[in-house]
Structure 1
Amino acid sequence: MKIYDYKGFPNPARVRAALAEKNATDKVQFVNVDVLKGEHRLPEFVSKNPSASVPCLELDDGTYISECSAITEYIDHTFPGISLTGTTAKERAVIHMMQRRAEQGVLDAVSTYFHHATPGLGALELYQNKEWGLKQHERALAGMRYFNDFLAHQPYAAGENFSVADITLFFGLSFADAAKISIPADCTELVAWRARIAKRASMGGTGS
């Protein structure tokens, strides 16, 4: 199978982390799509993923799967090892819920701020609404505080076990660094969680 991505961007990083957690990085072929050169908007790639975004998974039978949550779901159920999306109905529902909260309340909020209230990707930005971007800055901070409060009582973003929700939150915070959105000083639980998650090999650390 192939994964079309652009290394270093937050959404491709989420998929790469999921593969690393499943010890399956060597089971896929990565195909670079140079977003900064606009390659994601070329007809050849759009025919694979109409939303013109990375990452995109191509299966051996010619099926294309986009959207990080869908790709990581496929990865989790294809390769053995740690469960990233849950094994029981309750676990899967809670992880899905917290993954969406991490996505909408942190990662997507930061992304919207970056693309609308900063220079973003420069000439590649087709439309910007600064007021909307600044509103999402506030939303990102609120999302960080939400997870800070939650992590005061649970070790991981969706409860007792590491999951895709942690991956999404972690790279949402990494994107916040790039967009110059600082974690609020009072979010000590979130900062401690981040330091712990950063030690995982899948996140670039050397621990587990």
Structure 2
Amino acid sequence: MKIYDVEGFPNPLRVRVALAEKGALESVSFIAVDVLGGEHRSAAFLAKNPAGAVPVLELDDGTCIAECSAIIEYIDHQFDGPSLLGEEARQRAIIHMLQRRAEFMVLDAVGDYFHHATAGLGPALEVDQHKQWGEKQKHTALNGMSYFDRLLGQHEYVAGETFSCADITLYAGLAFAEYSDIEIPVKHRHLLSWRERIAKRPSLNLA
């Protein structure tokens, strides 16, 4: 198995944490993609993922799987250890719902702000910016933080009392927010406390 990614980018972080949680980091070869040099737009990379985004999982038979949720689902089923997706129907549905909310309410919103309302990855790559949209999405991210703060006031993890892929996605979104100079409001003490606890997990130190 190979994973094409950029170490430190938010979506690749999600996959690396999932692998670390399953004790499977050594089962994968990581191949760095020169995004700043435009490698993700090359014909060779687009053949693996027409969306031109990292990460991409390439299986031994040549099958390429893109999109973090799909890659994490493969990892969760392929390797032993506690499930990141849930053990039964109700739990799986709640985790899926909240993982998706962590994406569009925080991670993706921060990404839109970063790519549209800041210098982003530089003028060579950020060629179609819409600053007003980016600023709007900053507010979406802040509203998302408020939502998850309330949620984490009710239970230990995003989707209940068990760590899941929803926690991984939210953590990556907040890391991206910090990098993009979007601070978690200090009033969100549940969210801040949760982030501090999650940062101490061994998987975050291995990813």
Same fold (TM over 0.5): yes
Alignment partner, residue 130 of structure 2: 129
Q: Partners in 2 of 1:87 and 1:45 — Cα distance?
A: 35
Gaps of 5+ in 1: none
Cα drift, residue 166 of structure 1: 0.2
Q: Partners in 1 of 2:204 and 2:38 — Cα distance?
A: 27
Name the count of aligned residue pairs: 205
Alignment partner, residue 158 of structure 2: 157
Cα drift, residue 90 of structure 1: 0.7
The alignment status of 1:82 with 2:53, answered yes or no, reads no
Partner of 2:57, secondary structure, is strand
The alignment status of 1:44 with 2:44, answered yes or no, reads yes
Q: Partners in 2 of 1:170 and 1:78 — Cα distance?
A: 23
Q: Partners in 2 of 1:27 and 1:121 — Cα distance?
A: 31
Cα drift, residue 34 of structure 1: 1.1
User: Deviations 1:41-100 (Å, cap 9, x if unpaired)?
Assistant: 110000010000000000111111000000000000000001100110111100000000
Instruction: Report the AA paired with residue 151 of structure 1.
Output: L
Q: What root-mean-square deviation, in Å, do the aligned CA atoms of Structure 1 and Structure 2 show?
A: 0.8
Alignment partner, residue 94 of structure 2: 94
Gaps of 5+ in 2: none
TM-score, normalized by length of structure 1? 0.97
The alignment status of 1:185 with 2:186, answered yes or no, reads yes
Q: Partners in 1 of 2:205 and 2:59 — Cα distance?
A: 26
Q: After TM superposition, which residue ranges in structure 1, 4 or more long, deviate above 3 angstroms?
A: none
Partner of 1:4, secondary structure, is strand
Partner of 1:45, secondary structure, is helix
Q: Partners in 1 of 2:35 and 2:82 — Cα distance?
A: 31
Q: Partners in 2 of 1:103 and 1:174 — Cα distance?
A: 13
Partner of 1:3, secondary structure, is strand
What's the % identity of the aligned pairs? Answer: 61
Q: Partners in 2 of 1:133 and 1:204 — Cα distance?
A: 31
TM-score, normalized by length of structure 2? 0.98
